[in-house]
Amino acid sequence: MAAAADPGGPKVGAVCLIVLGMAGSGKTSFVQRLTGHLHTKGSPPYVINLDPAVHEFPIPANIDIRDTVNYREVMKQYGLGPNGGIVTSLNLFATRFDQVMKFIEKRQQDCQYVVIDTPGQIEVFTWSASGTIITEALASTFSTVIVYVMDTSRSTNPVTFMSNMLYACSILYKTRLPFIVVMNKVDIVDHGFAVEWMTDFETFQDALNQETTYASNLTRSMSLVLDEFYSNLRVVGVSAVEGIGMHEFLQQVTEAAAEYESDYRPHYEKMQQHLAAKEVKKREDQLEQLRKDMGDIAMDSSPIPANSDAEHEVDPGPSGLILTRGIADEEDEEVDSDTDDLDYQKVEEQSEEPAFQRYLEQRKLRNLPVAKE
């Protein structure tokens, strides 16, 4: 079934959305809501799960890393902890990512969007060799957009907010791709205060004045360097629980995809023309190093079979990427993943930071406009 194009959306090929976010930011919930929204618009996305440690992925994935690598078995074989197991599983998966690219290429005329969920341990994907290989492989072929999901309700403290922005800035310059900041959980705290902090330096300084820690002084200095980052930053407020802001998000994706075509694709094409052999050699060396690092592990060397059902159904279910997943131990099944971030309770999030409350009260006393709570 061919996907219906979103009004004003990209018309050719697929747009890959690499969704990043801290654990607990609602990243997977956002992916779930976005997938449901696209289904209702008659444009089902191609969904890829890259989190090997997630206990339960809430939507059917066309490609699921858990069908390829047994995360707990990797931990046992290499004597690794949770983060090391995730890194190693991603490394194993990256060595086969050329086959994933072929699947996406076959479906890009039917699926307008490819939604890629990543591990909650954000640094595992962003700063690892495997994450770089996967990102560059996608960006060299498809319109690729980085989606950074942040927890708005936990960013009302200006120091925490600045930490999120600095991390977003580092990811932007690391990936060098169109970038969208998704401020999630606006059903709990409206993101207007954050937008105001980004656009009005004095307002942010007022909020920082409520803080007296050393971190606030450091934050005050660092905030001066983000003007250029803010000026070109795409920001949208959403609620993964209530579905607020999905239409606005897709509009931002349309603009970001257009930016990729005009500014980034020429760069990748030029790079392929002038540095093709060098880049191919570099990628092959990276993959070879990953294979050496893996050592001996039970991996099927035959080509990854495509799921025949997934080629025809709108809601395909798990893919045929099956290598070594195996049956988990009973005690393993009872343990929830550290990376699950599906649900959050409004009651737990209602209490805002004391400094943020003082900031709001001060602005009311000065008869200044206050962002909607």
Handedness of CA 299, 300, 301, 305 (dihedral sign): negative
* Cβ-proximal residues to 251 (8 Å cutoff; 6+ apart), any chain: 8
Read off the CATH number of the domain in which 219 is found: 3.40.50.300
Is residue 147 within 8 A of residue 180, CB to CB? The reply is yes
Is residue 41 within 8 A of residue 4, CB to CB? The reply is yes
Element containing residue 17 per DSSP (H, E):
strand 15-21
CA 286 to chain centre: 23
* Cβ-proximal residues to 167 (8 Å cutoff; 6+ apart), any chain: 122
Point out which residues pair with 180 in neighbouring strands: 147, 234
* Cβ-proximal residues to 35 (8 Å cutoff; 6+ apart), any chain: 44, 45, 47, 59, 115
146 occurs within a structural domain = yes
Structure tokens at 169: 């800035």
* Cβ-proximal residues to 113 (8 Å cutoff; 6+ apart), any chain: 14, 15, 16, 17, 38, 43, 45, 46, 253
Neighbours of 283 (CB within 10 A): 16
Is residue 50 within 8 A of residue 118, CB to CB? The reply is yes
For residue 181, give the 3-state DSSP assignment: strand
71 occurs within a structural domain = yes
3 occurs within a structural domain = no
5 occurs within a structural domain = no
1 occurs within a structural domain = no
Highest mean pLDDT among 42-46, 216-220, 320-324 belongs to 42-46
Name the residue with tokens 């206990």.
55
- pLDDT score recorded for residue 5: 41
The pLDDT tens digits of the residues spanning 17-72 come to 999 998 889 999 999 999 999 999 999 999 999 999 888 899 999 999 999 898 89
* Euclidean distance between CA atoms 206 and 245, whole angstroms: 28
117 pLDDT band (50/70/90 cuts)? very high
What's the mean pLDDT when you consider all of the chain? 78
- pLDDT score recorded for residue 367: 65
Q: Give how many domains the chain has, as a whole number.
A: 1
Domain containing residue 65: 15-302+345-365
Is residue 321 within 8 A of residue 67, CB to CB? The reply is yes
> Would the pTM count as exceeding 0.85?
no
372 occurs within a structural domain = no
Is residue 334 within 8 A of residue 16, CB to CB? The reply is no
330 pLDDT band (50/70/90 cuts)? very low
* Euclidean distance between CA atoms 58 and 115, whole angstroms: 14
322 occurs within a structural domain = no
What whole-number percentage of the chain has pLDDT above 90? 41
- Report, as an integer, the average pLDDT of 234-245: 95
328 occurs within a structural domain = no
Examine the pLDDT at 8 and tell me if it is beyond 70.
no
- Report, as an integer, the average pLDDT of 95-101: 91
275 pLDDT band (50/70/90 cuts)? low
Name the residue with tokens 């709001």.
360
